[in-house]
Amino acid sequence: MPWFLPATTSLILFVASCPEILTRAGKAAVFAAEEFFFGRIRNEHTRQAYLVAVKRFLAWAEARGLELVRIAPKDVGQYLDGLRKENTSVATRKQHLAALRHFFDSLVTRHAILLNPALSVRGERYEVVEGKTPEITVTGARQLLASLDTSSMVGLRDRAIVAILIYTASRAGAVASRRSSRKS
């Protein structure tokens, strides 16, 4: 379903393509799913991502002959293991688990199922490893400043900016937003 469709079109398409496993679970399950996707999730991008994740899981469960009320934590775990075998990223698997937890939570709230099978499933740790910005040496700073052409106002400005960045360790955005108080 394209992201640019308005919410009402998304709702119509969701109801029209509602997975059989959900409709077999009863009106409370369909109502809870509609309420979850179109009443609780306000961000359109989150809604689309969760729709993809939940529909994919329900299709997976239906292909294995599972019924919505019989889905257990082991089934959610096996689904996530399958995603891992497909080489999906850790972030994608975490997003799918979050979508399933919230989705099943809404089904529990509306009494469509008794327990949330995704609640006890542990997610993977995801650590973003970012490299450190290399520190400029004193000699390197002096060489950089000496290499700038200071015969014009632009060169003087550039040298001042580079000097501020080097000697104060300021962020480039902070320096760029700085205004001169000198009026010429």
User: Could you read off the pLDDT of 76-94 as tens digits, one per residue?
Assistant: 999 999 999 999 999 999 9
Query: Does 103 lie in the same domain as 30?
Result: yes
Own/partner pairs, 92-95, CB within 8 angstroms, 24+ separation = 93/123, 93/124, 94/123, 94/124, 94/126, 95/49, 95/53
Top-confidence residue, 143 or 6: 143
Query: What does the CA dihedral 15, 55, 105, 109 come to, rounded to 10 degrees?
Result: 20
Query: Does 85 lie in the same domain as 168?
Result: no
- Residue 169: predicted pLDDT: 73
Burial code (b: 16+ CB inside 10 Å, e: under 16) for 56-66 equals bbbebbbeeee
153 lies in some domain:
yes
> pTM of the full predicted structure?
0.64
121 lies in some domain:
no
Query: Does 159 lie in the same domain as 73?
Result: no
118 lies in some domain:
no
pLDDT tens digit sequence for 42-75: 898 999 999 999 999 999 999 999 999 999 999 9
**Distance between CA atoms of residues 109 and 104, nearest Å:** 9
Top-confidence residue, 32 or 124: 32
Residue 47 maps to which CATH number? 1.10.150.130
pLDDT (mean) for 12-31:
81
Range of the domain at 157: 138-176
Query: Does 29 lie in the same domain as 100?
Result: yes
Any idea which of 14-18, 29-33, 44-48, 150-154 has the lowest mean pLDDT?
A: 14-18
How many separate domains does the chain show?
Answer: 2
Last residue of one domain, picked from the residues 72, 89, 109: 109
Does residue 4 register a pLDDT over 50? no
Query: Does 99 lie in the same domain as 15?
Result: yes
Does residue 10 register a pLDDT over 80? no
